[in-house]
């Protein structure tokens, strides 16, 4: 759980009392590989701090999975639009491999906001980072070639994600046909 404290300390100066209160709101949960954590139509009730594991968010379009985000050890994930609005999710959240997490519920987060207003700063920073991630991805998808998108992905993504995600899911995330991504990877290896 220390990685969560370090994550908080990156953005906030928190006292021992504030940490202990925050920690009391965390619930340990494990998810088996390939288990759905949030299904389309559910309301995302929790943020998942990943102690170990690998998770992804995706949506279905004409029966095809379109990956929108990957997260692994020491990071967090949720279906943010559903979590923030407390409305039905358009995306699914899946544990790709066995994942050990600490969850923080929407209700607990808002209780923390009321008890310690400085936690609102943490919530704002999470929202800003999520927005910037989406903006960066939108710009990447609209302005870069498939090869540039893949090179950016391997330069900016945690090695565990690159190695643990099947190629077809990476292709989906990058908006590239799996065959095209295989060709791009061969070109990169040759050069």
Domain-ending residue, one of 102, 135, 168: 135
Residue-wise pLDDT for 141-162, tens only, equals: 999 999 999 999 999 999 999 9
Position 149 scores a pLDDT of 95
d(C-alpha 59, C-alpha 106), whole Å: 22
Range of the domain at 172: 144-191
Q: Are 131 and 155 in a shared domain?
A: no
Is residue 107 located within the same domain as residue 150?
no
Same-domain status, 73 and 154:
no
Q: Are both 79 and 111 inside the same structural domain?
A: yes
Are the C-beta atoms of 33 and 98 separated by less than 8 Å? yes
Q: Are residues 128 and 155 located together in one domain of the fold?
A: no
Q: How confident is the model at residue 10 (pLDDT cuts 50, 70, 90)?
A: confident
Q: Are residues 81 and 122 in the same domain?
A: yes
Residues 87-115: pLDDT tens digits? Answer: 999 999 999 999 999 999 999 999 999 99
Instruction: Quote the pTM value.
Output: 0.91
Cα gap 136→86, rounded to integer Å = 25
State how many domains the chain has: 2
Query: For residue 7, what pLDDT is reported?
Result: 86
Residue 176 structure tokens? 């590239």
- Give the count of beta carbons closer than 10 Å to the beta carbon of residue 188: 12
Check whether residue 61 and residue 110 sit in a common domain. yes
pLDDT in tens, 23-56: 999 999 999 999 999 999 999 999 999 999 999 9
Provide the CATH number for the domain around residue 80: 2.60.120.10
23 and 80 share one domain:
yes
Same domain assignment for residues 86 and 155 = no
Please give the Cα distance from 144 to 106 (Å, whole number). Answer: 36
Give, for 48, the enclosing helix (H) or strand (E): strand 46-61
Residue 3 has pLDDT above 90, yes or no: no
Assess contact for 44 and 107: CB atoms under 8 A: no
Local structure of 143: helix, strand or coil: helix
What pLDDT score does 189 carry?
A: 87
Query: What pLDDT score was predicted for residue 98?
Result: 98
Whether residue 102 is found in the same domain as residue 37: yes
**Cβ atoms within 10 Å of 114's Cβ, excluding its own:** 9
Retrieve residue 46's tokens: 């929790």
């Amino acid at each position: 759980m220390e990685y969560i404290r370090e994550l908080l300390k990156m953005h906030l100066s928190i006292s021992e009392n504030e940490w202990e209160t925050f920690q009391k709101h965390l619930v340990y949960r494990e998810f088996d590989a390939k288990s759905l954590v949030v299904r389309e139509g559910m309301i995302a009730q929790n943020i998942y701090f990943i102690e170990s594991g690998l998770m992804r968010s995706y949506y279905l379009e004409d029966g095809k999975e379109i990956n929108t985000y990957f997260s692994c050890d020491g990071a967090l994930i949720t279906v943010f639009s559903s979590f923030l609005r407390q409305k039905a999710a358009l995306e699914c959240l899946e544990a790709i491999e066995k994942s050990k997490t600490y969850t923080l519920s929407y209700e607990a987060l808002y209780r923390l906001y009321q008890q310690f207003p400085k936690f609102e700063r943490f919530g704002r920073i999470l929202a800003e980072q999520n927005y910037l991630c989406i903006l960066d991805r939108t710009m990447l998808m609209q302005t870069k070639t498939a090869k540039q998108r893949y090179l950016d992905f391997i330069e900016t993504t945690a090695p565990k994600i690159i190695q643990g995600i099947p190629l077809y899911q990476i292709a989906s995330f990058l908006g590239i046909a799996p065959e095209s991504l295989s060709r791009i990877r061969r070109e990169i290896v040759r050069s």
